[in-house]
Every structure is written in C-alpha cells, then in structure tokens.
Structure 1
Amino acid sequence: MLRLQIIVVSTRPGRKGPAVATWFEQRARAHGAFEVEVVDLAEVALPVFDEPEHPRLRKYQHEHTKRWSAIVERGDAYVFVTPEYNFSAPPSLLNALDFLYTEWAEKPAGFVSYGGVSGGLRGVQMAKQVLTSLGVMPIVAGVAIPFFATRLGPDGAFASDEKLDGSAAALLTDLARWAGALASMRASRG
C-alpha cells in the first residue's frame, strides 16, 4: 500500500496546524487508499539549512538531515498542512524542502491550507513553485480553509463541513492516482 505523509508545517508556539492535521488524518484513513503517517516539522526540529554539500549529492553530514532523509524517503505522497505567512509559504516548509532533493522526486504532493480570507492559497502557490523544482508533482485539487479559527471549538478541535470533507476526498483520490503512476516511474529508474 502507498504511504501518505501528512506533514504539519507550522512550528511556532500556539500553532493550530495539528488540529487541522488531525481532521485530515481521519479523512485520509477513512478514504483507505493509503497507509497514513503524520510528520510534524516541530518534532523533526530541523535547524536552518546547514549541509555543506548540495542535497542532490546525498552526502549528508548531520544526523538531523539523515533522519529527515529517511522520513521523506519512505513517503509515496505528501500533504502539507500549512498556514500562510506574509502572502508566502512558511519558512519551516521552505527550509524542510531545501534540505533534500532526490527523496522528494517523482512523488505527488497536495495541500491543506488554512488562514484568513485567502485560506492560505497564496502560500500554497509559492510552495508549488519550489516543489516542481524538486521534481514533485503538485496536485491541483486541495483543501483551502478560510477563517479557519472560526472552526476551532473550545477544546481546540477542528470542525469541518460537507464541503471541506468533499475537498479532502477529491485531494486524496487525485493523490492516490498520481502516487500509483509515479511509483512505477520511480521503479523504472531503479
């Protein structure tokens, strides 16, 4: 079975990304196309990019990079649960992407974004440009959650609705199709 990694992007104190990720994880498990793994960049705790060699070479010097490489390598598809910072992708996401190269290649990625009026879409558009330079296939379908704070209950849990659940299902279906197709490409490359 293909492995989907749901990557929680925000690392700051007081972040709400884990609540959104918990909702999406439940949707992904119910969808059934993937083995699901949640990866939290706050727990991965990467420093600002500090490898002396270009990531294409995979000559990693630091244990944190070797651990991150192993995590990303085992994924067949990714969903980034991400806010938008200053009309762009969060630095934690860009930094995590920059650490590696080959591990990302020929795999699909989608987004569950959240924020104010734009629902994080401007940050997603910026991140997609970076992903394509790494050989990742960004999926058109996605989940954008505007004014997401209105969906957080007193206990901090995220409450979706039919439209968001439908968007999640469409994203997961597209990811599964692309992940299967790209897995055969990776297998043929050896």
Structure 2
Amino acid sequence: MDKLKIGIILGSTRPGRNGQAVADWVLARAKERADADYELIDLLDHPLPHLDETVPASRGAYAGEHTKAWAAKIKEFDGYIFVTPEYNHSTSGVLKNAIDYLYAEWNNKAAAFVSYGSLGGARAIEHLRAISSELQLAHVRQQLSFSLFTDFEGFTVFKPSAAHENAATVLFTQLESWAGALRSVRG
C-alpha cells in the first residue's frame, strides 16, 4: 500500500501572518514521520475568489478553473492538518472560503487542527470541528494550540514551548491512524 499523503493547509493569507512560522514548524516535525508524506498547501498559492460557483459543492459540478485546480489538489490527500489563526472567535475567512468550495474531495478523510491566537486559537478549532463533521472529515482529538502570549516573542516571532513536541507526536499518530483506516471506507 502507498504511503499516506497528508496536506498541511496554511489557512491565512494575511500580510505579516504568523501562520507561516507555525506551518513550517508543523511540517518540520511531520517530515520526521515514516508512515506518511506531508506537503504544505499555502492558500496564497491557491487564490480563490469569494465563493463564485453557482452549483452547490455537494453536486461536484465545478465550473471555474480555479475550483477545478483546487479540487484536484485536495483530492490527492488522505488527510489534512489545518493551520488556522483565530479571528473574531473563529477561523479565517480565507480558510472557510477554501473549504466551502469543495465537498466530495474532503469526504471520508481525516483532519487535525493546529491553531494560534490570544487564547491559542481554540475557538477557531471548535468551528472547524463542526465544519469538518458536515464534510464527513473525521477529526482527531489531539490538537495543537499556540498562544500569542507564551509561544511568540513580541507576538510575532514564533518560539513554541517544548511541551508542544509531545502533543505534536500524538496528533500525527492519531491523524495517520485515522487516515489509513479511512482509505478502506473510500475504497
């Protein structure tokens, strides 16, 4: 059986974003894993206008070339790690928009969440859990939450505490387990 393929989706396109450093940290630890290949998917590389498809995503009748390209990219993976900021007690608009473009490409795959914000981004993850359930994405229990107060120097330089290392290992293990199991569901 082929190695699992996991996409790490960087869910912020904001200038000066902290998410790049967080996603790079996640990717560096993921590259140490033997049972899956991890790839960074930066939403800056997939510019999607505000949802402009006339047919609901659940029908799979994508019209826009940008939607077709996004669908082809997301379809490649067995699971995802969403790296999200917390904006106004939720995830970023650009990440929600990118998620909403598709449906079947997310189904019966696994998801994990990494967040950052003043309260570690926990509220953004809670919203993403509800969204993932609707998309038939099986989300794992372990999450990583980075505080702007304790994991960033001056709110901009990412310096996570060592305590996150063990949590990251658990997150990867849970995600790979579920992603592998769901391959049989997708047939």
TM-score under structure 2 normalisation?
0.93
User: How far apart in 2 are the matches of 1:71 and 1:150?
Assistant: 31
Helix, strand or coil at the partner of 1:127:
helix
Measured after TM superposition, the shift of residue 135 of structure 1 is 0.5
CA contact (8 A) 1:114 1:148 kept: no
Contact 2:151 2:160 in 1 (8 A): no
Q: Which residue of 2 aligns with 1:133?
A: 134
Distance in structure 1 (CA, Å) of the matches to 2:179 and 2:151: 33
Match for residue 43 of structure 2 among 41, 44, 54: 41
Residue 160 of structure 1: CA displacement?
A: 2.9
The structure carrying a bigger strand percent of its residues is 2
Q: CA deviation at 1:58?
A: 1.4
Question: Counterpart in 2 of 1:98?
Answer: 100
Structure with greater proportional helix content? 1
Alignment partners' CA distance in 2, 1:46 and 1:165 = 33
Instruction: Say which SS state the counterpart of residue 105 (structure 2) adopts.
Output: helix
Which residues of structure 2 form unaligned runs of 5+? Answer: none
TM-superposed CA distance for 1:162, in Å, is: 2.5
Deviation at 1:46, TM superposition (A): 0.7
Instruction: Please tell me the root mean square deviation across aligned C-alpha atoms, in Å.
Output: 1.5
**How big is the shift at 1:43?**
1.6
Per the TM alignment, residue 138 of structure 1 is displaced from its structure 2 partner at its CA by: 1.3
1:22-43 Cα deviation digits (max 9, x unpaired) = 1100111112221111001122
CA contact (8 A) 2:6 2:77 kept: yes
State the TM-score, normalizing by the size of structure 1.
Answer: 0.92
Q: How many positions carry a matched residue from both structures?
A: 184
Identity %: 40
Is the Cα–Cα contact under 8 Å of residues 3 and 75 in structure 1 kept in the other structure?
A: yes
Shift of 1:152: 4.9
Distance 1:43 1:148 in 2: 29
Residue-by-residue CA offset, 1:76-122 (whole Å, 9 max, x unaligned) = 11001111010011111111111000000001101110011x20000
Comparing 142-151 with 85-94, which one deviates more in the overlay? 142-151
